[in-house]
């Protein structure tokens, strides 16, 4: 048998068995990541998902450049399918991805403040989840007029060009945008290990801010660029400190809410602008869910009446409903008010960087200055070439008869240029230019014009050289261009600004009637909420066989409740979450209502009040932990808290402590001790194990703890201790407990 196994091993160690290479090569995971994963990750970051300083991703740039080369900036529209097909020469990702890119850049889709594609046909809507765009064979498109500023001077060496994916043609690495498009166009992308989320800003405000920053690097951006602007409108809930943080760090979030109006004659609320982050279908679905759950009872019906005129969501109200109160509720409970998270992650020189608005404007200004400098240098080179030709012409025109004689006396055509070069001391380029002059141009007028043009060229060259050597002049060129763009493309602000301190926040508890109630909890977890009138009129409390009372106390309908369980978890609810009951009913089974885990049981019910009290936890191992109730307070609507107390030893008693008092602890060997609660210092962690209270013998444990005033102890001095831990004293017969006490006492 051993021999057979060895043969099998040799067989599968043979690399040529079944034509497979069976040898296993060990390779460190770090090396695998570096050689295989990192190139992919960098490709996604640099070549796909993150926008660059011109405000475009590669897919946007390839599409727009293709349309530009197709003559769609000044010509008429063409079928979108034609554009998609042409773009595939630059973009190898398929026609579906290219068309989706075109849809997002289109004026019909309304995703951008300044759309780059002038569309015709059904391109869907950014505020609708279900309104699909038509196929590319049905729609038409061309470039929007603003693209003239995107492609300004692209043929004057303002940007670098690179080979496309198959090396058959050239494409621009960046587009020479004459305005900070990176801030004007909203952009988002998810790469590998990083993401980008850039909100749009108003074009005129961005241009004005860029001008001010070029003139003064310490300019207060918020004074000219107060807040983002979204194509879907809505209102930004403005918090200056929050906005300053976003402008400074490039990260943060702010709230945007819908715009609405009330039509009293029809008793309808009309929503006509939505936050950029949601859709009309998402809002309607959420409202329907809330109505079904019984959380909204003021609405008869909600309809989507969007048409060619724009977005319109109609809410039919019940009689007597206050529109303002209802909208506050909807803002709180639906995406009619939503948060926009900012992450200004932009590629600069091939490296991703998260930048604030000021830093983005500085980077754009530096890049734009380089574009303008390259354009000026290009123009300077062209003018110098022309001046060079004219100076050669000038030498010829001084003695035109001699030039004609040289040409006529030359036998071979190939010797005309060399003879002119020797005869007048000019180079080959100048000689070619002179030789191409028509005979009709050899006249006095032509000579005078060329001479005057030479003087103008010399002045122009001098000015261009001065511009190249002056940062101030280049800045002034950019400023003048920004002023022209701002004047030419006047775009009214679409998103309003409302100040957070002026808004009335929706408080759910204010909408709930408040009245006194008495709360009952049974040992098996059945809960009752009974009004004083019902309590006076009823008889004894009804319980299941084997069940009985655990806790009861007075409260009110708006108060919060905490339920502690045997799985170290805390559940939060409000009294008004439960319906009023009667003593004759069994009550509501809390594990089902609170969606507790299977087999999880409630230990006690706590009224936290204003969360200024403390909880004392006593464990079987003789330790106790004092936790401030504020540790269980949450700012959000979380209904479940994990790790509510330590799980190192079984919990025996919980005491709700309002003020310092004496506590009595009992052990399983009939000992007791009394100490003041001030000896227990609060713990910062909810799951703290606590400190020793009772010094226990082997196989002995702490059985219970309760306020000393609730015990049968007559002589407290016998059991009182001044420091902890302590063993306590043996219980005398007169101090023993004669009745069962609840787990929690106030």
Catalogue the active-site residues.
138
Q: Which residues contact 435 (CB under 8 A, 6 or more apart)?
A: 407, 416, 417, 420
Q: What is the CA radius of gyration of the chain?
A: 41
Asked whether the bond before 725 is cis by omega within 30 degrees of 0, the reply is yes
- Please state, in angstroms and rounded to a whole number, the distance separating the CA atoms of residues 585 and 544: 10
- Please state, in angstroms and rounded to a whole number, the distance separating the CA atoms of residues 497 and 238: 6
Angle (nearest 5°) at CA 218 between 217 and 220: 120
> Looking at 226-336, which runs of residues are DSSP E strands?
235-238, 251-257, 259-263, 268-273, 299-304, 313-317
Both tokens of residue 138?
Answer: 């049905």
In contact, 284 and 299? CB cutoff 8 Å: no
Report the candidate in 426, 349, 364 with the shortest Cα–Cα distance to residue 390.
426
First to last CA, the chain: 77
Residue 485: how many CB atoms within 10 A of its CB?
A: 20
Question: DSSP alpha helices (H): ranges in 152-202?
Answer: 181-184
For the chain, the farthest-separated pair of C-alpha atoms sits apart, in whole angstroms, at 146
Q: Which residues contact 694 (CB under 8 A, 6 or more apart)?
A: 622, 665, 667, 671, 673, 702, 725, 726, 727, 728
- Please state, in angstroms and rounded to a whole number, the distance separating the CA atoms of residues 579 and 587: 10
In contact, 39 and 150? CB cutoff 8 Å: no
CA atoms within a 13 Å half-sphere pointing along the CA-CB vector of 284: 20
- Please state, in angstroms and rounded to a whole number, the distance separating the CA atoms of residues 214 and 172: 26
Judge residue 460's burial from the number of C-beta atoms within 10 Å of its C-beta, 0-12 exposed, 13-18 middle, 19 or more buried. middle
Q: Encode 662-684 in three state secondary structure.
A: EEEEEECCCEEEEEEHHHCCEEC
Question: DSSP alpha helices (H): ranges in 410-519?
Answer: 416-424, 428-435, 444-468, 471-488
Angle (nearest 5°) at CA 457 between 452 and 458: 100
In contact, 702 and 621? CB cutoff 8 Å: yes
Which value, to the nearest 10 degrees, does the dihedral of the CA atoms of residues 544, 550, 556, 557 take? -40
Q: Which residues contact 298 (CB under 8 A, 6 or more apart)?
A: 317, 318, 321, 326, 329
Both tokens of residue 732?
Answer: 């005398």
Distances (CA, A) of 456 to 125, 353, 461, 462, 712: 54, 46, 9, 10, 113
In contact, 530 and 581? CB cutoff 8 Å: yes
Residue 511: how many CB atoms within 10 A of its CB?
A: 12
Q: Encode 350-395 in three state secondary structure.
A: CEEEECCHHHHHHHHHHHHHHHHHHHHHHHHHHHHHHHHHHHHHHH
Residue 71: how many CB atoms within 10 A of its CB?
A: 12
In contact, 544 and 502? CB cutoff 8 Å: no
């Amino acid at each position: 048998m051993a021999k057979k196994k060895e043969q099998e091993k040799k067989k599968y160690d043979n690399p040529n068995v079944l034509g497979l290479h069976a040898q296993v090569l060990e390779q460190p995971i770090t090396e695998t990541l570096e050689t295989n994963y990192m190139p992919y990750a960098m490709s996604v970051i640099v070549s796909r998902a993150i926008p660059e300083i011109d405000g475009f991703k590669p897919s946007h740039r390839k599409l727009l450049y293709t349309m530009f080369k197709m003559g769609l900036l000044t010509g008429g529209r063409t079928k979108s399918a034609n554009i998609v097909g042409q773009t595939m020469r630059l973009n190898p990702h398929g026609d579906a991805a290219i068309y989706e890119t075109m849809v997002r850049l289109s004026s019909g889709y309304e995703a951008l403040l300044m759309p780059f594609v002038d569309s015709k046909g059904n391109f869907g809507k950014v505020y609708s989840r279900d309104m699909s765009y038509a196929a590319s064979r049905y729609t038409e498109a061309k470039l929007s007029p603003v693209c003239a500023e995107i492609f300004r001077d692209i043929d004057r060496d303002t940007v670098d060009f690179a080979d496309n994916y198959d090396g058959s043609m050239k494409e621009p690495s960046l587009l020479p945008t004459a305005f900070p498009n990176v801030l004007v166009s909203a952009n988002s992308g998810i790469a590998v290990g990083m993401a980008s989320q850039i909100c749009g800003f108003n074009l005129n405000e961005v241009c004005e801010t860029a001008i001010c920053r070029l003139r003064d690097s310490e300019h207060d951006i918020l004074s000219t660029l107060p807040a983002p602007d979204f194509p879907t409108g809505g209102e930004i809930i403005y918090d200056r400190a929050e906005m300053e943080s976003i402008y400074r760090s490039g990260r943060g979030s702010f709230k945007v809410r819908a715009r609405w109006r009330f039509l009293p004659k029809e008793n309808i609320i009309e929503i006509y602008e939505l936050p950029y982050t949601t859709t009309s279908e998402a809002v309607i679905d959420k409202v329907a869910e809330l109505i079904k759950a019984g959380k909204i009872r003021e609405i008869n019906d909600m309809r989507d009446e969007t048409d060619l005129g724009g977005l319109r969501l109609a809410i039919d109200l019940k009689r007597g409903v206050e529109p303002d109160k209802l909208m506050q509720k909807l803002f709180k409970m639906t995406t009619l008010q939503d948060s926009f998270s900012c992450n200004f992650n932009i590629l600069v020189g091939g490296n991703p960087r998260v930048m604030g608005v000021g830093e983005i404007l500085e980077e754009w200004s530096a890049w734009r200055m380089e574009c303008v400098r390259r354009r000026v240098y290009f123009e300077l080179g062209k003018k110098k070439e022309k001046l060079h030709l004219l100076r050669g012409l000038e030498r010829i025109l001084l003695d035109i008869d001699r030039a004609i004689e040289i040409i006529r006396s030359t036998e071979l055509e190939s010797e005309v240029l060399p003879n002119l070069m020797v005869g007048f001391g000019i180079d080959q380029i100048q000689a070619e230019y002179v030789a191409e002059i028509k005979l009709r141009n050899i006249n006095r007028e032509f000579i005078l014009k060329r001479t005057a043009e030479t003087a103008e060229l010399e002045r122009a060259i001098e000015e261009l050289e001065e511009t190249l050597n002056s940062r101030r002049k280049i800045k002034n060129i950019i400023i003048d261009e920004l002023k022209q763009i701002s004047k030419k493309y006047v775009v009214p602000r679409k998103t309003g600004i409302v100040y957070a301190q002026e808004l009335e926040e929706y408080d759910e508890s204010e909408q709930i009637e408040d009245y006194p109630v008495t709360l009952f909890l049974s040992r098996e977890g059945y809960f009752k909420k009974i009004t004083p009138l019902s309590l006076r009129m009823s008889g004894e409390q009804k319980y299941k066989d084997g069940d009985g009372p655990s806790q009861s106390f007075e409260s009110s309908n708006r108060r919060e409740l905490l339920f502690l369980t045997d799985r170290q978890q805390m559940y939060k609810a409000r009294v008004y979450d439960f319906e009023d009951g009667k003593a004759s009913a069994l009550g509501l089974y809390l594990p089902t209502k609170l969606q507790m885990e299977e087999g999880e049981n409630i230990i006690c019910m706590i009224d936290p009040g204003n969360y200024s009290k403390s909880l004392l936890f006593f464990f079987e191992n003789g330790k106790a932990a004092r936790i401030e109730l504020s540790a269980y307070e949450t700012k959000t609507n979380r209904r479940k808290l994990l790790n509510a107390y330590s799980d190192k030893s079984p919990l025996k008693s919980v005491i709700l402590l309002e003020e310092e008092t004496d506590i009595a602890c009992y052990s399983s060997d009939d000992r007791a001790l009394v100490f003041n609660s001030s000896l227990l210092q609060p713990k910062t962690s909810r799951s703290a194990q606590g400190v020793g209270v009772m010094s226990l013998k082997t196989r002995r444990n702490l059985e219970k703890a309760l306020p000393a005033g609730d015990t049968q102890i007559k002589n407290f001095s016998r059991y009182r201790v001044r420091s902890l831990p302590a063993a306590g004293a043996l219980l005398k017969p007169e101090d023993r407990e004669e009745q069962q006490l609840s787990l929690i006492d106030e």
